[in-house]
């Protein structure tokens, strides 16, 4: 099969060392870009997951109007004048409708009350087990975590010690019996001092079905500022107070953006360098092959045909570099993820569509880089080439 590509293929084969060098540089560029992109995405995702496991970064509480009262030198403290309770179903529905819903990873509703257990006062926090365990991924337990939907309870470390509780024990709370499935290992937070109990139970005990005291929210912040999520939530829940735990949010966003910007910058430098090398190499090739161009023009090649000869060489090199760059990038990604101990969580699987896209993008990039040298080649007049003959 002979056509215009026969010339490009012949030259590529004849100058295999130059071709190999160019392809190697392009391969390195593509492999680095691919690996950096994949690794930064895996690391960012992983960072997000880890950061989420540090807890919530948004708090939704009922809007309250309080009054500080003192009389005759005696302080009566803050008195709640009006409270706007949160209805769980309505709140969840409102949150589902916000534009940045995809950035909200976990919503953990809670209801707080007090009860007496074996004659001692204890703080009870009603939770949805599935949501709570997703939010508090860092919890460790002695015994077992309650199953989602079960009526079991969980005790904080300090509360368990004060109440003399042990996993497996059955407790009587408000006339109902509950099994203590586990005791949390110390967390250093308020969680140590309370008992966690299914949310519907607390709602029943307080006679406020469907109500909650507050909600903790974990939002993913790599794609948008936390302020935007807070503003949207506030607009959706006008009767509640929505507050960002700014420090946590900002540090999450900074870490994720830093990793991604670094990867983007390095990739850009590598790509520009590879393209510059291809342009220089093609320009020198045009100068070196001036006589060939003259002969091609003398036997009837149009400017477009001469342009195609040079661009097709670059397309071939780009496509080959795209394929090898993908393979090398995959290997590099797997190696780095293994070194970062992320290999088990992130699996850089082979994707035919990704391979095709990279081959196409690499060929196009190389072709575009060669456009200027090829255009210079197409401008050569047979007469000019003949002068050099």
Partner 1 sequence: MLEAKSIVKRYAGADRPAVNRLDLHVRRGEFLSIVGRSGSGKSTLLHILASLIKPDSGSILFQGLDICSASEDRRNQLRGRDFAVVFQQHYLLPYLSVLENVLLPFLNGFRTVKQPRLAMARDILERMELGRKENSRPGELSGGEQQRVAIARALVRGASILFADEPTGSLDFATGSSIMRLLHELNADGLTIVMVTHNSEFANSSDRVVRMADGEIS
- CA distance linking residue 365 with residue 274, whole number of Å: 10
> In angstroms, rounded to a whole number, what is the distance separating the alpha carbons of residues 9 and 229?
55
Total of residues contacting partner 1 (CB under 8 A): 29
The whole-angstrom separation of Cα 259 and Cα 242 is 29
Give the strand pairing for 170-173 and 86-87: unpaired
Residue from 94, 137, 295, 342 that binds partner 1 (CB under 8 A)? Answer: 295
Is residue 4 close enough to count as binding partner 1 by CB under 8 A?
yes
Alpha-carbon distance of 316 to 12, in angstroms, equals 9
Convert residues 248-287 into a mask of x (bound to partner 1 by CB under 8 A) and - (unbound): ----------------------------------------
What is the distance between the alpha carbons of residues 358 and 25, in angstroms, rounded to a whole number?
Answer: 15
Cβ-count burial of 39 within 10 angstroms (0-12 exposed, 13-18 middle, 19+ buried)?
Answer: buried
Out of 34, 145, 196, 301, which residue is the one contacting partner 1 (CB under 8 A)? 301
Residue among 175, 300, 339, 350 that touches partner 1 (CB under 8 A): 300
Asked if residue 18 binds partner 1 (CB under 8 A), the reply is: no
- Which of 6, 172, 261, 338 touches partner 1 by CB under 8 A? 6
Residue 10 near partner 1 by CB under 8 A: yes
Measured on CA atoms in the order 337, 339, 345, 350, is the torsion positive or negative?
Answer: positive
Q: Report helix, strand or coil for 100.
A: coil
Residue 136 binds partner 1, judged by CB under 8 A: no
- Could you say whether residue 363 binds partner 1 (CB under 8 A)? no
Residue reference for tokens 């391979």: 355
Among 120, 261, 302, 347, binds partner 1 (CB under 8 A): 302
Of 6-14, 38-46, 92-100, 184-192, which segment contacts partner 1 by CB under 8 A? 6-14
Which of 115, 305, 343, 355 lies at the binding interface for partner 1 (CB under 8 A)? 305
| Binding piece for partner 1, criterion CB under 8 A, among 4-12, 119-127, 155-163, 325-333 | 4-12
Report d(CA 144, CA 282) in Å as an integer: 67
Main-chain phi, psi angles of 80, to 5 degrees: -75, 120
Residue 128, SS3 per DSSP: coil
Q: Which residues bind partner 1 (CB under 8 A)?
A: 1-7, 10-11, 13-15, 291-292, 294-303, 305, 382-383, 386, 389
């Amino acid at each position: 099969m002979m056509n215009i590509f026969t010339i490009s293929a012949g030259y590529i084969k004849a100058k295999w060392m130059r071709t190999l060098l160019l392809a190697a540089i392009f391969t390195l560029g593509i492999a680095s870009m691919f690996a950096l992109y994949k690794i930064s995405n895996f690391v960012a995702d992983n960072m997000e997951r880890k950061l989420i496991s540090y807890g919530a970064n948004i708090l939704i509480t009922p809007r309250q109007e309080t009054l500080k009262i003192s009389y005759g030198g005696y302080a009566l403290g803050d008195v709640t004048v009006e409270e706007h309770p949160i209805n769980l179903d309505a709140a969840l529905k409102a949150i589902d409708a916000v534009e940045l819903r995809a950035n909200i990873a976990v919503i953990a509703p809670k209801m707080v009350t007090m009860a007496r257990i074996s004659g001692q006062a204890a703080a009870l926090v009603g939770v949805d087990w599935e949501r709570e365990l997703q939010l508090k991924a860092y919890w460790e337990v002695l015994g077992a975590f309650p199953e989602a939907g079960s009526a079991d309870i969980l005790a904080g470390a300090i509360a368990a010690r004060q109440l003399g509780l042990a996993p497996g024990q059955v407790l009587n709370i408000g006339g109902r019996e509950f099994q203590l499935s586990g005791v949390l290992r110390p967390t250093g937070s308020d969680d140590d001092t309370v008992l966690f109990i299914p949310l519907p139970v607390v709602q029943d005990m307080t006679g406020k079905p469907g109500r909650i005291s507050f909600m903790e929210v974990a939002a993913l912040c790599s794609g948008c500022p936390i302020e935007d999520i807070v503003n949207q939530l506030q607009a959706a829940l006008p009767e509640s107070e929505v507050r960002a735990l700014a420090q946590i949010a900002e540090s999450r966003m900074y870490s994720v953006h830093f990793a991604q910007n670094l990867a983007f910058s390095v990739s850009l430098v590598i790509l520009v360098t590879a393209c510059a090398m291809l342009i220089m190499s093609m320009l020198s090739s045009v100068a070196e092959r001036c006589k060939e161009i003259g002969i091609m023009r003398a036997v009837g090649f149009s400017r477009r045909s001469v342009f195609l000869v040079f661009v097709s060489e670059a397309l071939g090199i780009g496509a080959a570099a795209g394929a090898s760059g993908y393979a090398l990038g995959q290997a590099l990604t797997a190696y780095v993820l293994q070194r970062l101990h992320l290999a088990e969580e992130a699996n850089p699987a082979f994707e035919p569509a990704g391979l095709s896209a990279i081959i196409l993008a690499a060929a196009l990039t190389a072709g575009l880089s060669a456009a200027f040298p090829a255009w210079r080649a197409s401008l050569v007049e047979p007469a000019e080439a003949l002068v050099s003959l």
